[in-house]
Amino acid sequence: MKSFFIHFICLFFILAAAPDLSADQTASPSPAKQTLRLMLDWFPNVDHLPVYVAREKGYFNAQGVSVEIISPSETADALKLAATGNVDLAVSYQPQTIIAADQGLALKVVAPLVRHPLTTLLYLADTGFDHPQDLSGKKIGYTVPGLMDVLLHAFASINKIDDYTPVNVGFTILPALVSGQVDAVMGPFKTYETVGMAQHGYKAAFFELEKWGIPDYEELIFVCSPAILKEKQDAIKGFVLAMEQAFAHVAAYPEQSLALYLDAVPQADKKMETDAFALTRPYFATTLGHDPDKWQAFADFARTHGLIQNQVDAARLIHTWQ
């Protein structure tokens, strides 16, 4: 299970051409890099591995960009801070982005990170749940308020889960399940929490959302505000191009990519991250761009099932790079 503690990683790059250049100055001047502040959706983990590969392989530097990676205090912080321009970029989720757009937040989606859902409705394997409807009358936890609780509502409606009690468990997933506080939890990733539970001697089972009525969606994406995109378009395009190189490297050299990540994030649990990476790797993006029809299908679903109140034109959220 993922840690409760958020590790703040502030990676400051000294601009080579700045007038107050310090000890990193070289004999011959080099072009100044533009710094972008990227806020993750959570503490660093293998979901973010391609970002670290882009940094460690020098792909950001080659695009004239330096990237400061920051962890949020709460999982919802990244999207809000990106929308207000307090960070340049954020890792977020497609459903959360559509919900935020419905609420009036101005956002632009600039690149994918994880192409398909990782989120599950997870439970202990020995509980005997064979169909979502078996959870009728049960207590069901959720992790991220404003996202996982609304997904749970839609999932329950589609799968006829009646009279359930929603419980905000945050990220105390395993304790909540083992103690009987809840019977299942909406929000754990099939590629991460399952590994953590196994390390603690518990076998997880789960219902995959896309197999039980939730449309396919992009689990993790990079977003920014329209104002930041306009102001820093060249730098953000450089970030996106560097990520494309990183995706290719991860696909071609998975073991080296994992080693780069583990060196960059020394506090990571190497056994857990290694096992989780094996499950996560097939879901990473390999190319840039987004499918507007896929995005619109989820937006229409969200309105039908009450996740959003208004019609959202998903294509307007997506920035297309030329």
Convert the chain into a string of H (helix), E (strand) and C (coil).
CCCCCCCCCCCCCCCCCCCCCCCCCCCCCCCCCEEEEEECCCCCCHHHHHHHHHHHCCHHHHCCEEEEEECCCCCCHHHHHHHCCCCCEEEECHHHHHHHHHCCCCCEEEEEEECCCCEEEEEEHHHCCCCHHHHCCCEEEECCCCCHHHHHHHHHHHCCCCCCEEEECCCCHHHHHHCCCCCEEEEEECCCHHHHHHHCCCCEEEEEHHHCCCCCCCCEEEEECHHHHHHCHHHHHHHHHHHHHHHHHHHHCHHHHHHHHHHHCCCCCHHHHHHHHHHHHHHECCCCCCCHHHHHHHHHHHHHCCCCCCCCCHHHHECCCC
pLDDT score for 4: 30
**Mean predicted lDDT score pLDDT of the chain:** 90
Region 259-268: mean pLDDT is 97
Q: Quick one: pLDDT band at residue 144, thresholds 50, 70, 90?
A: confident
Where is the domain boundary, 190, 211, 232? 211
In a domain, 4, yes or no: no
Region 222-249: mean pLDDT is 98
Percent of the chain past pLDDT 90, that is, above it, reads 83
Structure tokens at 181: 């506080």
On whether both 189 and 299 belong to a single domain, the answer is no
Q: Quick one: pLDDT band at residue 31, thresholds 50, 70, 90?
A: low
pLDDT score for 10: 33
d(CA 260, CA 19): 32
Amino acid residing at 150:
V
Where is the domain boundary, 160, 181, 211? 211
Tens of pLDDT, residue by residue over 77-100, are: 899 999 999 999 999 999 999 999
d(CA 301, CA 106): 21
Region 93-112: mean pLDDT is 96
On whether both 149 and 289 belong to a single domain, the answer is no
Q: Specify the higher pLDDT residue, 102 or 8.
A: 102
Where is the domain boundary, 154, 179, 211? 211
In a domain, 27, yes or no: no
Domain harbouring 38, CATH code: 3.40.190.10
On whether both 109 and 39 belong to a single domain, the answer is yes
On whether both 160 and 286 belong to a single domain, the answer is no
On whether both 90 and 231 belong to a single domain, the answer is yes
Region 160-184: mean pLDDT is 96
In a domain, 26, yes or no: no
Least confident of 21-30, 186-195, 227-236, 312-321: 21-30
On whether both 226 and 288 belong to a single domain, the answer is yes
Full residue range of the structural domain in which residue 135 is found: 119-211
On whether both 312 and 228 belong to a single domain, the answer is yes
On whether both 158 and 202 belong to a single domain, the answer is yes
In a domain, 20, yes or no: no
pLDDT score for 1: 39
pLDDT score for 308: 94
Region 61-73: mean pLDDT is 95
On whether both 162 and 180 belong to a single domain, the answer is yes
Region 172-195: mean pLDDT is 96
pLDDT score for 138: 98
pLDDT at 194 > cutoff 60: yes
d(CA 69, CA 54): 12
Least confident of 17-26, 221-230, 243-252, 299-308: 17-26
In a domain, 154, yes or no: yes
pLDDT at 15 > cutoff 80: no
Lay out the sheet containing 65-70: strands in order across. 65-70, 34-39, 89-92, 220-224, 108-114
Region 296-309: mean pLDDT is 94
Region 188-198: mean pLDDT is 96
Q: Quick one: pLDDT band at residue 171, thresholds 50, 70, 90?
A: confident
Q: Quick one: pLDDT band at residue 11, thresholds 50, 70, 90?
A: very low
On whether both 105 and 75 belong to a single domain, the answer is yes
pLDDT score for 243: 98
pLDDT score for 186: 97
On whether both 192 and 110 belong to a single domain, the answer is no
In a domain, 24, yes or no: no
Region 97-119: mean pLDDT is 96
Structural domain total, the chain: 2
On whether both 312 and 224 belong to a single domain, the answer is yes
pTM of the model: 0.87
pLDDT score for 13: 28
pLDDT at 176 > cutoff 70: yes
